[in-house]
């Protein structure tokens, strides 16, 4: 079961004391996922209106029964396509982590622990629909495309740049050598290539040796960093004066973007920071949810 990370810290920071009794709050959950944040907000503010976005349509179907009696609108879009009237929203949440359900049950190859097709796309359904003449009517890149067609230098660059993987060049060479023999089809195919490319000592490290490469491919496939920059800008524009934005990031590349964006808004006199340093998970939460170890929460308020 997915466990919502930094749940109380996120919502406590989002719902400023003066908003606690407000009957007309509008909150955007830009990364609905399992709906944990939205559900807690509904419990605290029964009259709130939630606008929930997710590009994976299946998450709404799984969660809708939990939201009976709550004023919630489900929108099947990526938050880069956030199209909400400016100065109309009291709060917005970005939880940039993958849910446990996406990792373990999507069948899209996000996890190196399961043998699945190399998709890694957040889109639903995880396949390309064919239009007239057999041509894709909606084309989107998959991890299969990346590992089987991208050049060795490009592969090395994204594995290093997005995964911060020290053995990126060895892994990229291993991928290219392997695909010359046969197509790389599954997550386990890729894990084996990585296993053979990295030193034996690295394979026994604290972090699984495939973690950074899988992260890099997922970021590249979904353009996650570009999406984040666009989503932050659109989300900030939608906030009312006094509205707050809570962002939970899970790796340094995301956090750098969020930190830079928040600092620019502060320095430009458009916002102030609710927490100057990121809020980290408590020891108690870490015991119950080890996956939360890298989570960082930042909150700002629009002036």
Q: Binding site, residues?
A: 35-37, 54, 79, 95, 102
Asked if 22 contacts 90 with a C-beta cutoff of 8 angstroms, the reply is yes
Asked if 72 contacts 95 with a C-beta cutoff of 8 angstroms, the reply is no
Cα 238 to Cα 188, 226, 301: the distances in Å are: 43, 19, 12
Asked if 296 contacts 249 with a C-beta cutoff of 8 angstroms, the reply is yes
Tokens found for residue 73? 């609108």
Task: Give the angle 240-7-72 at the CA atoms, nearest 5°.
Answer: 55
DSSP secondary-structure letter at 21? Answer: T
Q: What does the alpha-carbon distance between residue 222 and residue 110 come to, in Å, rounded to a whole number?
A: 12
Residue 280 CB neighbour total at 10 angstroms: 16
Length of the chain: 303
DSSP secondary-structure letter at 99? Answer: P
> Which residues are CB-contacts of 171 (< 8 A; sequence separation ≥ 6)?
155, 156, 159, 165, 193, 194, 197, 198, 213
Q: Which residues are annotated as a binding site for S-adenosyl-L-methionine?
A: 35-37, 54, 79, 95, 102
For 147, the 3-state DSSP assignment is helix
Cα 246 to Cα 91, 146, 260: the distances in Å are: 8, 32, 15
CA dihedral 71, 76, 78, 80 (to 10 degrees): -70
Tokens found for residue 169? 């060049």
Q: Which helix (H) or strand (E) holds 15?
A: none
């Amino acid at each position: 079961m997915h466990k919502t990370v930094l749940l109380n810290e996120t919502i406590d920071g989002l719902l400023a004391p003066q908003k606690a009794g407000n009957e007309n709050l509008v909150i955007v959950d830009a990364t609905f996922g399992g709906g944990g944040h939205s559900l807690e907000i509904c419990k605290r503010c029964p009259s709130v209106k939630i606008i929930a976005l997710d590009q994976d349509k299946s998450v709404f179907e799984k969660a809708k029964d939990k939201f009976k009696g709550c004023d919630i609108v489900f929108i099947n879009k990526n938050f880069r396509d956030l199209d909400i009237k400016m100065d109309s929203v009291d709060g917005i949440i970005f939880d940039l982590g993958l849910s446990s359900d996406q990792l373990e049950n999507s069948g899209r190859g996000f996890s190196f622990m399961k043998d699945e097709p190399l998709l890694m796309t957040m889109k639903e359904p995880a396949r390309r629909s064919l239009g007239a003449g057999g041509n894709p009517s909606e084309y989107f890149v998959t991890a299969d495309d990346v590992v089987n067609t991208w050049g060795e230098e490009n592969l090395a660059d994204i594995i290093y740049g997005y995964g911060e993987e020290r053995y990126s060049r060895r892994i990229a060479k291993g991928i290219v050598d392997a695909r010359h023999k046969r197509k790389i089809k599954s997550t386990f195919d890729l894990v084996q290539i990585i296993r053979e490319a990295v030193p034996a000592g690295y394979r026994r490290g604290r972090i699984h040796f495939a973690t950074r490469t899988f992260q890099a491919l997922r970021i590249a496939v979904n353009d996650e960093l570009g999406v984040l920059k666009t989503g932050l800008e659109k989300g900030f524009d939608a906030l009312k004066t006094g509205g707050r934005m809570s962002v939970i990031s899970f790796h340094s590349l995301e956090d750098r973007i969020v930190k830079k964006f928040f600092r620019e808004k502060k320095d430009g006199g458009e916002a102030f920071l609710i927490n100057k340093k990121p809020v980290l998970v408590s020891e108690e939460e870490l015991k119950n949810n080890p996956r939360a170890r890298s989570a960082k929460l930042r909150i700002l308020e629009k002036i």
